[in-house]
Amino acid sequence: MSTVDIVGVTKRYEAVVALDSVSLQIGEGEFFGLLGPSGSGKTTLLRAIAGFVQPDAGEIRVDGEDIRGKPVHRRDVGMVFQNYALFPHMAVFDNVAFGLSVRRRPRSEIRGAVERMLALVRLAGLEARRPSQLSGGQQQRVALARALVTHPRVLLLDEPLGALDKRLRQQMQIELRQIQREVGITTVFVTHDQEEALTLSDRIAIFNEGRAVQVGTPAEVYERPRSAFAAHFLGDANFFRGRLVGEADGLGQYRLPRGEMIAAPATDAPPGSAAMLAVRPEKFSLTAADTPAGSGANRLAGTVLQAVYSGSSTTYKIRADGAAADEDDLTVFEQNRAQRAFAPGERVGLVWSPAHTVVVEP
C-alpha cells in the first residue's frame, strides 16, 4: 500500500486556473473521493497523478517520491476510465492480460495472474467473451481487473460507475468497495455523484473552482460543512441568515430577519456578527401548528406548499411565516413512519435540535 501527497499543485490553461495550489494527503489503503461539479478541477488532478497532465507548479509524491517527471507507463498506477476503454476486438482474457503482455511477462505467469484477477472480480468463466457480449457492470469489472492485474501502487478511477443505471450503480458501489478492501490498494476516484462519494469514500475532498474547499470523512463533511457551497453540493440544505445576539449554555443565539430566534453550537464570532446557518432537510420534524417545541429545540412556523410522496419518504416544501414569495422555501424530508402526513395549505411547525444547525461561510 502506498501514500499519495499532493503539494501545492497548480495548473493553468491560459486564463483558466484548473488547479489552484491544491494540497492533499492520501493515506495507505485509503479510498479517497474527489467530488465536485464539472470544471471544479477534480478530473484535472486525477489526470495529473496519472501523468496525462503536467502541473505548472507543485509536487505529486507517491511513497515520498516526486513522480512528476516520470512518463505515464513508469508511474506504477492503474486507471479505470469512465467509458472503460476496453479493446473491442480482444477477449476478456486478453484485455485483462494486456498490461502484463506489454511488460513481456512469461505466459504462465500471465495466465495465473489473469485467472486470479477474474476470480476476484467474479468474472471467472467469461474469459473468451468480447466486451460487446458483456453487461455494463461486467465491462466495468473487466476494466478494474485490467487496472489491478499489474499490482500498481495506486488505483485511479475516473467516474467509474457513471455509465451504469441507478440500480446497477448501487450494486457496483458495494462490489467496488469490497474489491478495493480485499486488494488493499490506495485508491483515488473522481465523481460528481454525492451518494457515490458518501458510500465509497473513507475521506472526501470537495472541489470548487480549482480548490479543495473541504476535506474529511463522509460524516464530517456532511454533518459539519464549512461553507454554503459544501453544504449545498453534498446533499441538500436549508439556509438562514441571522445575526448573533449572544451565547448561553454553549449555544449561540441568532436572530433571523423576521425576529425569530434560533440556536446553534457556539463559535468564536463576536456578538453582532452576521451569520449564515444551514440545516439539512432530514433534521427537521414536522408537527401540528399548535404543538409546542420541546425544551431547547428550535422552532419555526409555516405553511405546506407541496408534499411529494415517494414510498419510503415524503418531501415537503414549506413557506415560513412572513417569508416573501421570492424567498427560498424550506425543504423537509421525513421518513414515512406512523406519524401523520401533512397536506398542502396546512399550517405546521418545524422543530429541530440546535446541534443540527451549522454556521457556514456564505
CA 121-122-126 angle, to 5 degrees, is 110
Residues 254 and 121 in one domain: no
Are residues 156 and 244 located together in one domain of the fold? no
If you write DSSP's letter for every residue of 216-275 in order, what string do you get? Answer: E-HHHHHHS-SBHHHHHHSS--EEEEEEEEEEETTEEEEE-TTS-EEEEE--SPPTT-EE
- Using the 8-state DSSP alphabet, how is residue 40 labeled? S
The amino acid present at 113, given as its one-letter code, is: A
- Whether residue 268 sits in one domain with residue 219: no
Residues 215 and 252 in one domain: no
Q: Are residues 146 and 261 in the same domain?
A: no
Question: Per the domain annotation, does 300 fall within a domain?
Answer: yes
Asked whether residue 231 is domain-assigned, the answer is no
Q: Is residue 149 part of a domain?
A: yes
The predicted pLDDT at position 21 comes to 96
d(CA 157, CA 30): 13
CATH code assigned at 120 = 3.40.50.300
- pLDDT at res. 338: 60
- Local confidence pLDDT in tens for the 362 residues of the chain: 799 999 999 999 999 999 999 999 999 999 999 999 999 999 999 999 999 999 999 999 999 999 988 999 889 999 988 878 888 999 999 999 998 888 888 888 899 999 998 999 889 999 999 999 998 888 888 999 999 999 999 999 998 877 677 777 888 888 889 889 989 999 999 998 898 899 999 999 999 999 999 999 999 999 999 999 999 998 899 999 999 999 988 999 999 998 999 999 999 999 999 999 999 999 999 998 888 777 789 999 999 999 999 888 999 999 999 887 667 899 999 988 867 789 999 999 999 999 999 999 98
Could you tell me if residue 181 is inside a domain?
A: yes
| Residue found by looking up cell 511477462 in the block | 105
Among 195, 224, 253, give the residue marking a domain's end: 224
Which residue's C-alpha cell is 492480460?
A: 97
187 and 251 both lie in a single domain:
no
To 5 degrees, how large is the angle CA 268–CA 271–CA 273? Answer: 85
Does one domain contain both 218 and 293?
A: no
What's the confidence (pLDDT) of residue 336? 86
Phi, psi of 117 (to 5 degrees): -70, -40
Q: Which one, of 323, 308, 305, 296, lies nearest residue 239 by Cα?
A: 323
**Are 13 and 122 in a shared domain?**
yes
230 in a structural domain: no
**Residue that is written with C-alpha cell 495507505 in the block:** 28
Does any domain span residue 229? no
Domain end among 179, 202, 224 = 224
Domain stop point among 174, 197, 224: 224
Angle at 210 between CA 200 and CA 217, to 5 degrees: 30
Report d(CA 255, CA 239) in Å as an integer: 14
Total domains in the chain come to 2
- Indicate if 204 and 282 belong to the same structural domain: no
Cα gap 67→54, rounded to integer Å: 11
Residue 233 domain-assigned (yes or no): no
3-state secondary structure labels for all residues of 262-288: EEEECCCCCCCCEEEEEECHHHCEEEE
Going edge to edge, which strands form the sheet with 186-191? 77-80, 154-158, 186-191, 31-35, 203-208, 211-216
Q: Is the dihedral of CA 175, 126, 153, 113 positive or negative?
A: positive
The CATH number of the domain where 315 resides is what? Answer: 2.40.50.140
Domain, as residue range, for 254: 238-360
**In a shared domain, residues 205 and 247:** no
| Spatial contact of 144 and 152, defined as CB atoms under 8 Å apart | no
CB atoms within 10 A of CB 350: 22
Residues 215 and 253 in one domain: no
Q: Is residue 90 part of a domain?
A: yes
End-to-end CA distance of the chain: 39
Q: Are 256 and 350 in a shared domain?
A: yes
